[in-house]
């Protein structure tokens, strides 16, 4: 049995990575992050042409109709370059929710525009994972009231997918809400606080009787965040190795010192098994549904821990240069740290995995 990527999957990965190496350069990332922007518009449009925004959307609705493994490969490439464009919420979570719970009319209305990159959809589901007592969203008569915190890709979204306290999901036009961009450590992506005061909502019809569509939306978001962390951590490892081959002390490159060799080897040993874990979790989500939720949670939790380890060790290999803006290592460091907390920290996600497997 062949457990490797198919030729088509390798071609997809190579084409996305090949473009991002030049299109999403460190200078591009720095310009968006330090300039207070929400995305790199030229990169966003180019990714739309490559079909990235419609990776999980059926061809009938203008997408490319690929699977979760392909979506994870794209996320890995985006994480490797800390590309400052919406993806996890607008291109993955929102289409998942609409495809799972939307009516035919709702799919026709939203999915083609998402696939074409015409709109960005922010996703507010964090109140379903953990929220303050004063926050939350209530639904009554087709209107939403309340406050959604940490809405992903939400700073300048054209529409929002908001989950209410009863587990139903609703599409809301941006003109119906008040939003405020929240400042986080990761400036390559945006989150927002969205306030709704009787906002008119288009409720996804299939989400009113079951929470399965909501849970699937959160699960796939966790899987994609784990893949993003994998890409970011791999880049930090590669940068540490390259730096160790060039930096000289005592007339020797520091990579010749045993302590530095051990640090790089330890990072590689921790990170390499994560790739097959992500691949299996993404494959299982579509092919082995009974394992999908548990594997998505395990992948998210494990990559959060390994990513944090690699980020710290890579910075240590770089020494004082590792914390300077010149190398830009902090963009990957912060992205990994932000991914760790989004949609649940490792402890919470492991508890959900245990519940999914019937242990608690």
CA distance 47 to 96: 19
The region, left, alpha or beta by phi > 0 then psi within -120 to 50, assigned to residue 193 is beta
Q: What is the CA radius of gyration of the chain?
A: 20
Check whether 1 has a pLDDT greater than 60.
no
131-189 pLDDT, tens digit each: 666 667 898 888 999 999 899 999 989 999 999 988 899 999 999 999 999 999 999 99
Check whether 324 has a pLDDT greater than 80.
yes
Taken in order of first residue, the domains within the chain and their CATH numbers are 7-115 (1.10.540.10), 121-207 (2.40.110.10), 212-356 (1.20.140.10)
Check whether 101 has a pLDDT greater than 60.
yes
279-303 pLDDT, tens digit each: 999 999 888 989 999 999 999 999 9
Average pLDDT over residues 112-116: 96
Check whether 2 has a pLDDT greater than 80.
no
- 2, two tokens: 């062949």
The region, left, alpha or beta by phi > 0 then psi within -120 to 50, assigned to residue 238 is alpha
Q: Where does the pLDDT of residue 83 fall: very low under 50, low under 70, confident under 90, or very high at 90 and above?
A: very high
The percent of residues in the chain predicted with pLDDT above 70, rounded, is 98
CA distance 4 to 22: 27
CA distance 106 to 237: 43
pTM listed for this prediction: 0.95
325-337 pLDDT, tens digit each: 888 999 999 999 9
């Amino acid at each position: 049995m062949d457990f490797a990527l198919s030729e088509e999957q390798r071609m997809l990965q190579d084409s996305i990575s090949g473009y991002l190496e030049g299109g999403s350069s460190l200078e591009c990332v720095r310009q968006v992050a330090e300039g207070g922007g929400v995305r790199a518009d030229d990169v966003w449009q180019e990714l739309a042409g490559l079909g990235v925004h419609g990776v999980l959307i059926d061809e009938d609705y203008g997408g490319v109709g690929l699977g979760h493994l392909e979506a994870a490969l794209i996320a890995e490439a985006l994480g490797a370059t800390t590309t400052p464009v919406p993806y996890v919420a607008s291109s993955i979570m929102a289409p998942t929710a609409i495809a799972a719970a939307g009516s035919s009319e709702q799919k026709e209305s939203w999915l083609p525009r998402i696939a074409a990159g015409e709109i960005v959809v922010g996703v507010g589901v964090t109140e379903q994972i953990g929220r303050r007592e004063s926050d939350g969203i209530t639904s009554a008569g087709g209107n939403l009231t309340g406050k959604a915190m940490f809405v992903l890709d939400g700073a300048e979204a054209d529409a929002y997918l908001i989950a209410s306290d009863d587990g139903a999901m609703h599409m809301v036009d941006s003109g119906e809400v008040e939003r405020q961009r929240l400042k986080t450590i990761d400036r390559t992506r945006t989150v927002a606080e969205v306030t709704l005061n009787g906002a008119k909502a288009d409720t996804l019809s299939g989400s009113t009787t079951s929470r399965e569509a909501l849970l699937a939306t959160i699960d796939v978001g966790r899987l994609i965040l784990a893949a993003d962390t994998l890409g970011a951590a791999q880049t930090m490892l590669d940068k540490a190795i390259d730096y160790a081959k060039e930096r000289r002390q005592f007339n020797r490159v520091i990579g010749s010192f045993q302590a530095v060799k051990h640090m790089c080897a330890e990072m590689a040993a921790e990170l390499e098994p994560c790739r097959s874990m992500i691949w299996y979790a993404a494959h299982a989500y579509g092919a082995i549904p009974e394992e999908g939720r548990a594997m998505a949670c395990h992948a998210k939790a494990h990559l959060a821990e390994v990513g944090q380890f690699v980020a710290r060790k890579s910075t240590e290999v770089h020494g004082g240069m590792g914390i300077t803006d010149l190398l830009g290592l902090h963009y990957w460091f912060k992205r990994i740290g932000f991914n760790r907390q989004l949609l649940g920290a490792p402890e919470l996600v492991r508890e959900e995995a245990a519940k999914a497997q019937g242990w608690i």
